[in-house]
Amino acid sequence: MEFKDKFTLDGLLRVPKGVTVDSVAKVAKLVEHAKRGSYLAEAQLKESLMSGDLASSITHFLNVITIPQLPDDKDRPVSKLAGIRTVPDFRPAVLYGLYGDPEGPGIEADGSAPRVPQGTPYPVVTVKGQESAYAKLAKRGNRVNWDFEDFVNDTIGVLDGIPQMLRTIALDTEWNEVGEAITAATTELTAQVLPDGTSVPVNAPVSANAIMAAIQDLALRTVHGRKIGSLSGYNVVVPVGKKLAVDYDIRKALGITAILPGSAGGPAYLGPDNSVLNTVEVIEHEKVTGTAWYLLPKPGAYRRPVVDLLRLRGYEQPQLRVQANGGDGFSFDADSASMRLRLVVGGALWFNEAVVYSEGDGNA
């Protein structure tokens, strides 16, 4: 992530009282020199932090170096599965505007605007909010403790390693929140007959044919009275360890060029058109288990949002704080210090109908 103001991260960070650009720059300079092998810099850093001279600057320094390490939204792992939406508070998430359910004389059954005769008033349309089928926005976080001995033995490791670990935790939290939203979908794959006559049963196990059946099923589903139709891209979410086999089956289906006659002879036929499978990406997720699998539109492929990662306005990024127990930041009773991670995120599934769920057991 890129920021013009490195001190406040373009207003994202609140500067603690007593922290200045110079104090944070001093910490950064000492850390940089210590990483390059300067024992003097490491000793100065250790003495300054433990004497309390720079203890109040630790939090800000760690935030300044940690948050920019997070990828841009478009590059985060979660962006493959979901959009990102900011909400104002912890109340149930609601979509308004074009994503809601417009109704009244100002909207026709097919969703288009009506013709307005000359000299007549424009008809009124009312837009209702669309509350998510599943949503959860919650404060998440944890605390990492380290002792005086750890700090003495590895000052740079404490300041450098913990932010990297918390960065990984933040990305994993986003990923799993969205996974929970996807697995909340309950509209099952129905029995389908593919264009070549192949029958696919209810809740079929994941395969190239079952994926095409799910695409066919999804196209005929309706949201606010309108069919979803064919889309430009789909995600198939499977348990961890299943991607290799599913990708292999998809490549095999895409490689069928001709159907040859059997032993009784007869003409050869062109292979089936399975090109829709080129629009499918198979993604493993820890929240999907057993034989279950899900098909849903890629973010942006459907005109309505389907799954979003929710963030709280004003708290969009993870925030770190260091507990200051005394002048040196360590507690009186145990000589320990703490770093706390707080992030407010959640997953939202807006339309249950827009996700095809299969138990994968072939049973209704």
Asked whether residue 332 carries a pLDDT value surpassing 50, the answer given is: no
Asked whether residue 138 carries a pLDDT value surpassing 80, the answer given is: yes
Kindly report which listed range (84-88, 277-281, 319-323) carries the lowest average pLDDT score: 319-323
Mean predicted confidence (pLDDT) in 349-361? 95
Mean predicted confidence (pLDDT) in 9-16? 75
Comparing CA positions, the residue from 71, 138, 181 lying closest to residue 312 is 138
Give the pLDDT band of residue 99 (cuts 50, 70, 90). Answer: very low
Most confident of 1-5, 219-223, 252-256: 219-223
pLDDT of residue 178: 97
- CA distances in angstroms from 277 to 192, 196, 256, 285, 290, listed in the order given: 16, 15, 12, 20, 23
Return the HEC string of 314-347: CCCCCEEEECCCCCCCCCCCCCEEEEEEEEEEEE
Q: Is residue 284 part of a domain?
A: yes
Residue at a domain's end among 39, 69, 99: 69
Domain enclosing residue 24, as ranges: 1-69
Between CA 123 and CA 105 the distance in angstroms is 6
Mean predicted confidence (pLDDT) in 1-16? 77
Asked whether residue 296 carries a pLDDT value surpassing 50, the answer given is: yes
Average pLDDT value for the chain: 82
For the chain, the domain total comes to 2
Residue at a domain's end among 275, 304, 333: 304
Q: Is residue 299 part of a domain?
A: yes
Q: Is residue 141 part of a domain?
A: no
Residues found in the chain? 364
> What is the reported pTM?
0.78
